[in-house]
Structure 1
């Protein structure tokens, strides 16, 4: 058939394929390659969470996950309009990941910071990150965690930031090309037993 037909015969040869045995039972299997969950408390991480006190915006959700969140928008007329905003367009930051798996990142969403004129920008400014850490998260950790845990944690957003970029600054003394470019992705472990009171104290 692939070589064509001869001039003597105008009928191409018949290509016969074996007929499958339909009596054999078939099964269906499912492959889950990703999932997402919405939680209201850090206690979901029963085995603990590894926190990053100076989250990098490069870890933000940048692709469409086909989920939306309702955000109230006040119009010039004074009326409130509820808008469906794609999840990856809402300002958020990477808080860390569950200790049980590196592939279960934990994000904090701040819908109150969303503005229509920002478009698809989902980054949270350092000013707001510092307020969230220094006014809410870190004081709550200091209140509920014992001293043997607190002694290993940064006591402020500024302190955590200095630790994150310390190695880059030290290398920059010897090599100007990498000054300020080296960032250490430092994570600090918080046991699951303290996460519920920490979060409840914040809200």
Structure 2
């Protein structure tokens, strides 16, 4: 069975349409169609496709072993690399992130129609945000460019030095900054030196800590 046929068989096994599988994986229906037609030879989303369909990632990638996860013989070290656990988190807006602290029910029905996967197992409720603007784009060193998806863990420890999502008192939206301690006082510092540093006081709220970044191409 060729790769394109394995993708289709996996989707059929999960009883998903191409659009539904694309939504779960984070790609569009046309991309799923291209995979099943053989127009795209391989996908960087193999692990998440396998997870969404409930099949073996090793089988989907190479055709080795059994289709259904858990039916393979004991894997060797090389095969074990394909069996990374992944978790699905919603992609939300900056306004929704800013309202997080005030929300009675963080994930109401229909909260998000888009999801992305990560191997990160969050400590609490978590979500993805798509970075807006260039305030965290640094000319040197660590940089987070516009369009990057960042995973926010709402219960990870917000220690100085961490990248955090915070809610400023005068804004309805969340802001993305580095939490720093200078002389015993906390500040929210952009990585881009063209932007001002904000004082973090008792009116500010930490929404969560950025634990992963995913650049889409």
Q: In proportion to residue count, which structure has more strand?
A: 2
Higher relative contact order (CA 8 A, sep 6+): 1
Q: In proportion to residue count, which structure has more helix?
A: 1
TM-score, reference length from structure 2: 0.22
TM-score, reference length from structure 1: 0.23
